[in-house]
Structure 1
Amino acid sequence: MITCVVDYTIDAAKIEEFERFARRWVELVNRHGGTHHGYYLPAEGASDKALALFSFPSLAAYESYRGLFGNDPDFVAADRIRDESGCVLRYERTFMRPLLAEDAPG
């Protein structure tokens, strides 16, 4: 399994637009073979940071999903929310390998 962690810097004045963007991506990841673990939005402290975590069974499965970017109309529409609203100022994507409870020696 591979987990993608996306660290966002968002426009805090456009949190509603970011939430609309996030809801679409949760749906798209889940529909196309991944498991979305959610978006984590500002609550206290820094108001311009948000995170998303989602997993795919393998890097190959993730790459198949990524192949839909710019091609699939639903993906284009989801990106349009971000682009037209300006809710995302920048983001950084990191791939991680989770260590889960069932992986621990017992």
Structure 2
Amino acid sequence: MITCFLRYEIDPDRIDDFEHYGRLWITLVERFGGKHHGYLLPAEGESDIAYASFTFDSLASYEDYRTRSFDDADCRAAFDFARRTGCIRRYERSFLRPVTEGIEP
């Protein structure tokens, strides 16, 4: 299992546009077989930082999603929406391996 963790620098005057963009991608990631864990938008503190994460079964599954997303009309429309509105200034992507089960000490 692999989790993609995203840190966005967003335009604080375009938070509503960024939220719309995020809602589009929640649906799209899940359509391609991933599990989206949602977006975290500014509430207090820095107003230009947001986060998101989603998980795929493997890095290969993630790569397949990425490849297919570039050919998908709905994904292209979401990319275009972000470009048109300027809601995203930049983003960083990291890949993490989740640990979700505890053990007795």
Give the TM-score normalised by the residue count of structure 2.
Answer: 0.96
User: Gaps spanning 5+ residues in structure 2: where?
Assistant: none
**1:1-106 equivalences in 2 (<5 Å):** 1-100=1-100, 102=101, 104-106=102-104
**Aligned residues: percent identity?**
51
Deviation readout 1:18-45 (Å, 9 max, x if unpaired): 0110000000001110000000000100
Aligned residues: 104
Cα deviation for residue 68 of structure 1 reads 1.7
User: Gaps spanning 5+ residues in structure 1: where?
Assistant: none
Amino acid at match of 2:51: L
**C-alpha separation between the residues in 2 aligned to 1:68 and 1:17?**
24
Deviation readout 1:34-84 (Å, 9 max, x if unpaired): 000000000100000000010001001101100123211011001011000
RMSD: 0.8
Runs of 4+ in 1 over 4 A off after TM superposition: none
Give the TM-score normalised by the residue count of structure 1.
Answer: 0.95
